[in-house]
Amino acid sequence: MKSTGQADVAVGESTLRVMREDWNKRALENAEHYVQNAHEKWDEREFFRSGEINVANEIMPDMHTICGGSRSPRDLNVLEIGCGVGRMTKFVARIFGHVTAVDVSSEMIAKAKVNLASLDNVTLVNGDGATLSAVADASQDFAYSFIVFQHIPSAEVIASYCREVYRVLRPGALFKFQVQGAQWQRDQPPDTWFGVSFSEDDARQLCQNSGFVMERSEGANTQFYWLWFRKPG
């Protein structure tokens, strides 16, 4: 894939460094726990089963609109932001033609490479934490991000990703993701665990500023504030 992306918003190098360092530390300490903190110590089968369940619950219900009614998922390219060790990627790759999975942490990507070694339709990318410079314009049919943006400590980084996702999606394609919506977080200094909180107005503005149309939202004022952004066709 060609490098074409550019962040058109200034994101501080120190923010990118902190995200990278904190997530590398977490990956080395106990990657599976920080990826999905339901357990301190995961049984490997259960860990991946949790990813399969998340794909069933969070991606399968949108299949009709992702595929535009008539296309086969095997013909579609999917982008995942914040893939971690490939917990969901593994199952998304069984459904779609190709998955490009990006993560800011080289240590997470190293583990994902081992976990996904048998799959030939996944490209793993250790990104810079704010752009998708390895992904070509209008090359993706669907983009998603699950329990990732909640951890991003900067609204500028999230805005940068939204602009980048808009760039790499084909017209008419969907970006489904979550942000931190919890009200209590609005008065806290943002960090790489609790992130930065979005109100409904913030989310509307994020959508508008990046060129998307807000198709749906769910879970405002909670930690799992889901947004469905559609690139106009």
Ligand X SMILES: C[S@@+](CC[C@H](N)C(=O)[O-])C[C@H]1O[C@@H](n2cnc3c(N)ncnc32)[C@H](O)[C@@H]1O
Binding residues (CB under 6 A) for ligand X: these are 19, 23, 35-36, 51, 81-84, 87-88, 102-105, 108, 127, 129, 146-148, 151-152, 157
Query: How near is the Cβ of 12 to ligand X at its closest, in Å?
Result: 13
Our CB check for ligand X shows the closer of 39 and 71 to be 39
Our CB check for ligand X shows the closer of 42 and 228 to be 42
93-131 burial code (b ≥16 CB/10 A, e <16): bebbebbbbbbbbebbbbbbeebbeeeeebebbbbbbbb
Our CB check for ligand X shows the closer of 147 and 203 to be 147
Task: Note whether 91 and 144 are within 8 A (CB).
Answer: no
Task: Note whether 44 and 183 are within 8 A (CB).
Answer: no
Q: How far is CA 188 from CA 43, 220, 222, in A?
A: 34, 18, 15
Neighbouring residues of 37: CB distance < 8 A, sequence distance ≥ 6 = none
Our CB check for ligand X shows the closer of 51 and 190 to be 51
The number of CA neighbours under 13 Å toward the Cβ of 54 is 21
Our CB check for ligand X shows the closer of 124 and 174 to be 124
Query: How near is the Cβ of 130 to ligand X at its closest, in Å?
Result: 6
Rounded CA separation 32/188 (Å) = 26
What is the CB neighbour count within 10 angstroms for residue 43?
Answer: 10
Query: How near is the Cβ of 148 to ligand X at its closest, in Å?
Result: 4
Query: How near is the Cβ of 73 to ligand X at its closest, in Å?
Result: 19
